Amino acid sequence: MPIEASTVGRKGWLVVLPGQVAAFGSAVCLIDLAAIRSVTERLQRSLGELGRTDSTELTKDVARYGEVAMAGTRPVMLFFAITTILFASVVVPLWRGSRHGVAVGLFGMGFLAPAYLAGLFAVSLMEVDLHSVLSSGVFEGLSNPDWYPRGRAAVLGAAAMACVASLCLLARPATTRWQASPAPRMALLLMSHLPLVAASVTVLNFVAIDQTRRLAAERVRTSSQDEYAGAGEFYLAQAFATAWRYAPLLAVAGVIALVLTVLVRRYGVTAPLLVGLGVVGLPLLFLLLLVSLATPFVLSGAGGEPVPEVLGTGPNWYPPAIFTQVSLAALAYVVTVALMLRAAGDGDRLVDGSVAQRWVPLLRRFRH
User: What is the dihedral sign for C-alpha 109, 115, 119, 121?
Assistant: positive
pLDDT at 233: 78
Residue 116 lies in a domain: yes
HSE on the CB side for 109, CA within 13 Å? 31
pLDDT at 356: 37
Which residue in 142, 259, 132 sits closest to 194, CA to CA? 259
Question: Do 121 and 33 share a structural domain?
Answer: yes
CA dihedral 133, 136, 141, 144 (to 10 degrees): -20
pLDDT at 82: 93
User: End of a domain among 153, 176, 199?
Assistant: 176
CA dihedral 293, 297, 301, 305 (to 10 degrees): -120
Residues of the chain with pLDDT under 50: 1-8, 53, 349-368
Longest dimension (CA), the chain: 107
Question: Do 274 and 126 share a structural domain?
Answer: no
Residue 1 lies in a domain: no
* Domain ranges, residue 31: 10-176
Our separate counts of H helices and E strands in the chain read 13, 0
> Which residues, 6 or more positions from 87, have their beta carbon under 8 angstroms from its beta carbon?
17, 18, 21, 109, 112, 116
Residue 365 lies in a domain: no
> Which residues, 6 or more positions from 157, have their beta carbon under 8 angstroms from its beta carbon?
none
Residue 3 lies in a domain: no
pLDDT at 363: 36
> Which residues, 6 or more positions from 42, have their beta carbon under 8 angstroms from its beta carbon?
142
| pLDDT over 90 percentage in the chain | 22
Which residue in 39, 31, 34 sits closest to 143, CA to CA? 39
Phi-psi domain of 172 (left: phi exceeds 0; alpha: psi -120 through 50; beta: other): beta
Question: Do 210 and 89 share a structural domain?
Answer: no
Question: Do 79 and 152 share a structural domain?
Answer: yes
8 A C-beta contact, residue 261 and residue 192: yes
Question: Do 164 and 194 share a structural domain?
Answer: no
Question: Do 125 and 197 share a structural domain?
Answer: no
User: End of a domain among 176, 206, 231?
Assistant: 176
Question: Do 193 and 154 share a structural domain?
Answer: no
Question: Do 42 and 132 share a structural domain?
Answer: yes
Residue 91 lies in a domain: yes
Question: Do 21 and 64 share a structural domain?
Answer: yes
> Which residues, 6 or more positions from 216, have their beta carbon under 8 angstroms from its beta carbon?
231, 232, 236, 307, 308, 310, 311
pLDDT at 130: 59
Question: Do 27 and 160 share a structural domain?
Answer: yes
Question: Do 252 and 223 share a structural domain?
Answer: yes
β-partners of residue 181 are 269
CA dihedral 348, 349, 355, 358 (to 10 degrees): -100
Question: Do 267 and 138 share a structural domain?
Answer: no
Cα 298 from Cα 312, distance rounded (Å) = 6
Strands (E) in the chain, as ranges, are none
pLDDT at 225: 60
User: End of a domain among 150, 176, 202?
Assistant: 176
Domain count for the chain, please give it: 2
β-partners of residue 269 are 181
pTM (2 decimals)? 0.79
> Torsions phi, psi of 117, nearest 5?
-65, -40
Residue 368 lies in a domain: no
pLDDT digits (tens, 9 = 90+) for 109-139: 899 999 999 999 999 888 766 555 555 555 5
Residues in the chain: 368
Helix (H) or strand (E) holding 50: helix 13-50
Residue 290 lies in a domain: yes
Residue 2 lies in a domain: no
